[in-house]
DNA sequence: TAATTCGCCCCGCACG
DNA sequence: CGTGCGGGGCGAA
């Protein structure tokens, strides 16, 4: 009898050029090794065309002579844009490059007659075999079989309630549930970090030139390995005996040992290893005469990606700078940061080892500690909170159907695109041709408020000025995804082909929506939303078992990432399923719902003070009327309106997206005020923070009165400090990001650009994404990079103006003003 | 290869 | 020199 097959988790699929077929990379949790399984199905690259075989022969005979041509077949597909079945010719190739990506590739021959020709082959393979990365499989006779996943009874019951009336929908929902319920493996992995000698402290050497020796390579792994490999250098004297440190007389020996360790792990983690550590190691090894087979690192120049032979490489830098991850999964905790120090500081509470000199000047012990900490932090980013990040990655792989290397290197639009393509293939839908889609669905109905935008977005209600007590905020639970689900929005259903659907108009637009067919996007988003709102968010709270509860929380966070971006991608021109009517129908219905609810609230005698996109601020609502509003929305508009939060008071400055309130749990909630923005100097931030503390203690009118007089005192104190120049230069620094290359600021020269150019003149390299620190000074350009400035040059008047605006947003709401507070101060 | 619009604030620049 | 508009950055949703 054969041994019981053990589960292998599919982590990645690649095309192997030498083998001429796809190779699956699976993780065997028992042996903790990566298993590579070449395709056994004979699957080949292909694309589709609307030209018949006869037309192809007649009009494109050269196609059949192409070196990569294999054969053609006629296949039937469902065309969602036209709501009809169509016959397409499948052009099968010998290798992916012949389909596209090489000169004279077959898709170039057919141009606009080529469908599904821009899909990367390894993705195409995943779709066609219905494989789900992140899921467990067993190998049986060379083929992979999905491991049966049990869905808990309570989840099945909930799905019964939601979809029980439609057998097919219920079946699909169960399939989705398996992705969320399957166990998540703990993957053996090692974090790697290197340090490089450099004679110029301010320059990071280019990895593809790798001009200087590697002096340290550190490892921190899940199996307990902590190791620093150090290069002996005569100038550092006799090396001390240190725990976890190995010394090497030559860089060659050091690299050999480093490669040996790297090759022992199925998964290698780095922080910026794509752009630095791994290519540096590779090029360095080449320079030292290593043979190709002795170097376990490959470099993909087109993708700027470093790969580990026989393993997988995740560059956490690329994953953590992903905006969706920052905002939704990690609540913007590390919004300032792009560096390991800032991200680990925010998420782990631990930063890098501080070095007061350059790496090249550090002694052995210092260098070892510094380097090992980097490897440790990199590893810990995947380890904290019971491997939260690893679990999120695996869950998002299952939702997006992307392998681990693709998922961690690409943004949300790629994730959603891949998920939708997979869904198309699963159903036998033809994936629309971009030019076709744009021609049929490329036009909008509305004009945006902001110049340069494509369509009208959300409504924001003009707030009053002043303090209001006892405010309840109601909001629609994930408004846009709800709209997409409920109104059947999808690229093929908005402005569908049916005459009889044209009467189903979207309020305020000329677009109509299909009544005959369920939209593919509507269904997918609907599932993800329902799973999050009705199942996993609830289970993440109610589940008794802490391990399962933790898992449910990961599931709901992973779902949140997809749900929140599912509307935006349709308004993004770079998205292959770009469909502005879907995006503008979504916002139009959002506006409709908010306005209808507002009108109903007013009819009920509920005063509405403010609202933004999906929320309404109700002033002192009676519980009965509130309940009436919620049930009316549920009954008449058929969406969920929830009580989101309640404030003891809210101070509105009279500006939109700008208010401060005291929540019923005693925390201060400040939105949009300049004192909180990250480019605001610390001096002003600290002032605003103190005001927040003050307001946090003021629960009622009387306490608030006291707080206001204390606030006036505080304002005056800060004002005087500025006047008397009793402020540290560092506290006056504006930190502004350079969002594009220095040379491309041609229309204007903003202040941070002036400062950046000063730095450049002083030989400092300035790049896109750098945060420029500058202060405002008298005379000259009006600004100086902080490195070049002295405290006595500072322009106090400018800072007083900044203090004024920061203050006014709060003071005006409280019924006083900056002038009133500092009035008379001029006499000092 | 890249999710959206709305809104606030400061500044730079052109125009009168 | 004042004014208005657009560029630029950052946040709210």
**Residue A4 confidence class, pLDDT cut points 50, 70, 90:** low
> Is the model's pLDDT at A244 over the cut of 60?
yes
Closest nucleotide (C1' vs CA) to A587 is B5
Closest nucleotide (C1' vs CA) to A808 is B9
How do residues A18-74 score in pLDDT, each as one tens digit? 999 999 999 999 999 999 999 999 999 999 999 999 999 999 999 999 999 999 999
Determine the distance between A806 (CA) and B14 (C1') in angstroms.
Answer: 30
How do residues A437-454 score in pLDDT, each as one tens digit? 999 998 888 888 888 899
Mean pLDDT on A128-138 = 97
Determine the distance between A397 (CA) and B8 (C1') in angstroms.
Answer: 38
Residues sharing a CB contact under 8 Å with residue A533, sequence separation 6 or more, in sequence order: A477, A478, A640
Distance between CA atoms of residues A204 and A404, nearest Å: 29
What's the pLDDT score for residue A822? 66
Average pLDDT, chain A: 92
Whether the beta carbon of A323 falls within 7 A of nucleic chain C: the reply is no
**Residue A236 burial (CB count, 10 A):** 17
Task: Give the pairing of strands A460-461 and A608-612.
Answer: antiparallel
E strands, A222-290, are: 226-231, 245-248, 267-270
Whether the beta carbon of A615 falls within 7 A of nucleic chain C: the reply is yes
Tokens encoding A386: 């019971």
> Is the model's pLDDT at A1 over the cut of 60?
no
Place of tokens 């998205």: A575
Closest nucleotide (C1' vs CA) to A411 is B2
What's the pLDDT score for residue A314? 98
How do residues A219-234 score in pLDDT, each as one tens digit? 999 999 999 999 999 9
> Is the model's pLDDT at A322 over the cut of 80?
yes
**Residue A823 confidence class, pLDDT cut points 50, 70, 90:** low
Contact between A236 and A364 (Cβ < 8 Å): yes
Whether the beta carbon of A745 falls within 7 A of nucleic chain C: the reply is yes
**Residue A133 confidence class, pLDDT cut points 50, 70, 90:** very high
Determine the distance between A554 (CA) and B7 (C1') in angstroms.
Answer: 33
Mean pLDDT on A696-720 = 85
What's the pLDDT score for residue A605? 96
Tokens encoding A780: 């000259």
Tokens encoding A35: 């298993």
Mean pLDDT on A427-432 = 97
> Is the model's pLDDT at A3 over the cut of 70?
no
Tokens encoding A505: 């108009």
Strand C nucleotides, any atom under 7 Å to a protein CB: 6-13
> Is the model's pLDDT at A676 over the cut of 60?
yes
**Residue A696 confidence class, pLDDT cut points 50, 70, 90:** confident
Strand B nucleotides, any atom under 7 Å to a protein CB: 1-13
Distance between CA atoms of residues A14 and A403, nearest Å: 9
Whether the beta carbon of A747 falls within 7 A of nucleic chain C: the reply is yes
Q: Which residue has the higher pLDDT, A691 or A417?
A: A417
Report how far apart, in Å, the C-alpha atoms of A610 and of each of A146, A463, A658, A671, A806 are: 51, 5, 11, 13, 21
Closest nucleotide (C1' vs CA) to A452 is B5
Whether the beta carbon of A614 falls within 7 A of nucleic chain C: the reply is yes
Whether the beta carbon of A450 falls within 7 A of nucleic chain C: the reply is no
What's the pLDDT score for residue A162? 95
Closest nucleotide (C1' vs CA) to A448 is B5
Determine the distance between A750 (CA) and C5 (C1') in angstroms.
Answer: 16
Q: What percentage of chain A reaches a pLDDT higher than 90?
A: 75
In chain A, DSSP finds a helix count (H) and a strand count (E) of 27, 27
> Is the model's pLDDT at A817 over the cut of 80?
no
Tokens encoding A520: 């593919």
How do residues A537-574 score in pLDDT, each as one tens digit? 999 999 999 999 999 999 999 999 999 899 999 999 99
**Residue A821 confidence class, pLDDT cut points 50, 70, 90:** low
What's the pLDDT score for residue A828? 30
> Is the model's pLDDT at A332 over the cut of 90?
no
Whether the beta carbon of A770 falls within 7 A of nucleic chain C: the reply is no
Task: Give the pairing of strands A226-231 and A245-248.
Answer: parallel
> Is the model's pLDDT at A239 over the cut of 50?
yes
Determine the distance between A559 (CA) and C6 (C1') in angstroms.
Answer: 39
């Amino acid at each position: 009898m054969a041994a019981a097959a053990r589960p292998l988790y599919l982590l990645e699929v690649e095309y192997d050029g030498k083998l001429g077929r796809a190779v699956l990379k699976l993780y065997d949790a028992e042996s903790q090794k990566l298993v590579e399984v070449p395709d056994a199905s004979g699957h080949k690259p292909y694309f589709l065309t609307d030209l018949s075989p006869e037309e192809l022969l007649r009009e494109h005979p050269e196609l059949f002579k192409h070196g990569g041509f294999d054969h053609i077949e006629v296949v039937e597909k469902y065309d969602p844009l036209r709501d009809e079945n169509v016959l397409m010719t499948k052009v099968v190739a010998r290798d992916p490059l012949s389909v596209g990506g090489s000169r004279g590739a077959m898709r170039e021959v057919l141009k606009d007659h080529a469908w599904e020709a821009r899909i990367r082959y390894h993705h195409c393979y995943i779709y066609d075999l219905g494989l789900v990365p992140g899921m467990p499989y067993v190998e049986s006779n060379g083929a992979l079989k999905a491991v049966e996943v049990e869905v808990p009874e309570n989840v099945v019951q909930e799905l019964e309630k939601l979809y029980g009336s439609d057998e097919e929908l219920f079946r699909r929902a169960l399939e989705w549930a398996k992705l969320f319920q399957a166990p998540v493996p703990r993957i053996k992995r090692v974090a790697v970090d290197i340090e490089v000698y450099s004679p110029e402290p301010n320059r990071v050497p280019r990895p593809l030139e790798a001009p200087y020796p590697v002096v340290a390579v550190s490892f921190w792994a899940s199996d307990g390995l902590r190791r620093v490999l150090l290069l002996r250098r005569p100038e550092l004297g006799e090396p001390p005996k240190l725990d976890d440190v190995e010394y090497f007389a030559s860089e060659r020996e050091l690299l050999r040992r480093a490669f040996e360790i790297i090759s022992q792990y199925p998964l290698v983690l780095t922080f910026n290893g794509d752009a630095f550590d791994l290519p540096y190691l590779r090029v360095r090894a080449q320079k030292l005469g290593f043979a190709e087979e002795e170097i376990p690192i490959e470099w993909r120049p087109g993708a700027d990606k470093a790969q580990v032979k026989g393993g997988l490489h995740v560059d956490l830098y690329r994953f953590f700078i992903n905006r969706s991850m920052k905002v939704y999964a990690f609540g913007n905790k590390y919004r300032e940061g792009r560096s390991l120090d800032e991200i680990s500081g925010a998420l782990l509470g631990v930063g890098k080892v501080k070095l007061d000199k350059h790496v090249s000047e550090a002694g052995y012990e210092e260098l070892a500690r510094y380097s090992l900490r980097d490897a440790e932090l990199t590893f810990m980013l995947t380890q904290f909170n019971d491997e939260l990040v690893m679990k999120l990655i695996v869950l998002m792989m299952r939702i997006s159907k992307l392998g681990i290397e693709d998922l961690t290197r690409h943004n949300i639009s790629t994730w959603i695109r891949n998920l939708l393509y997979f869904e198309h293939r699963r159903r036998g839908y033809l994936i629309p041709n971009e030019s076709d889609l744009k021609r049929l669905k490329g036009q909008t109905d509305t004009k945006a408020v902001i110049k340069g935008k494509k369509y009208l977005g959300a409504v924001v209600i003009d707030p009053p000025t002043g303090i209001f007590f006892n405010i309840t905020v109601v909001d629609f639970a994930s408004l846009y995804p709800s709209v997409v689900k409920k109104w059947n929005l999808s690229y093929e259903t908005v402005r569908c082909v049916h005459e009889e659907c044209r009467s189903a108009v979207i309020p305020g637009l000329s677009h109509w929506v299909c009544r005959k067919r369920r939209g593919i996007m509507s269904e997918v988003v609907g599932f993800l939303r329902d799973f999050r709102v009705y199942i996993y968010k609830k289970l993440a709270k109610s589940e008794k078992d802490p391990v399962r509860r933790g898992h449910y929380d990961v599931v709901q966070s992973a779902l949140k990432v997809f749900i929140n971006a599912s509307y935006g991608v349709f308004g993004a021109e770079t998205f292959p399923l770009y469909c502005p009517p879907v995006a503008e129908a979504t916002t139009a219905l959002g506006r409709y719902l908010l306005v209808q609810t507002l009108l109903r609230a007013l009819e009920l005698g509920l005063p509405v003070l403010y609202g933004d996109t999906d929320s309404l601020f109700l002033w002192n609502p009676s519980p009965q009327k509130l309940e009436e509003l919620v049930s009316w929305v549920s009954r008449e508009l058929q969406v969920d309106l929830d009580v989101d939060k309640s404030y003891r008071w809210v101070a509105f400055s009279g500006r939109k997206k700008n208010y401060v309130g005291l929540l019923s749990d005693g925390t201060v909630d400040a939105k949009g005020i300049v004192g909180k923005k990250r480019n605001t100097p610390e001096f002003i931030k600290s002032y605003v923070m103190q005001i927040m503390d003050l307001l946090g203690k003021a629960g009622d009118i009387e306490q608030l009165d006291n707080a206001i007089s204390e606030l006036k005192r505080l304002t005056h104190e800060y004002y005087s400090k500025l006047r008397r120049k009793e402020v540290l230069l560092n506290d006056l620094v504006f930190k502004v990001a350079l969002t594009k290359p220095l040379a491309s600021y041609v229309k204007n020269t903003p202040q941070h650009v002036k400062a950046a150019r000063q730095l450049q003149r002083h030989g400092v390299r300035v790049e896109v994404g750098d945060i420029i620190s500058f202060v405002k000074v008298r005379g000259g350009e009006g600004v100086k990079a902080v490195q070049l400035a002295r405290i006595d040059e500072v322009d106090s008047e400018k800072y007083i103006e900044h203090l004024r605006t920061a203050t006014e947003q709060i003071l005006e709401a409280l019924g006083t003003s900056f002038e009133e507070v500092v009035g008379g101060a001029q006499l000092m």
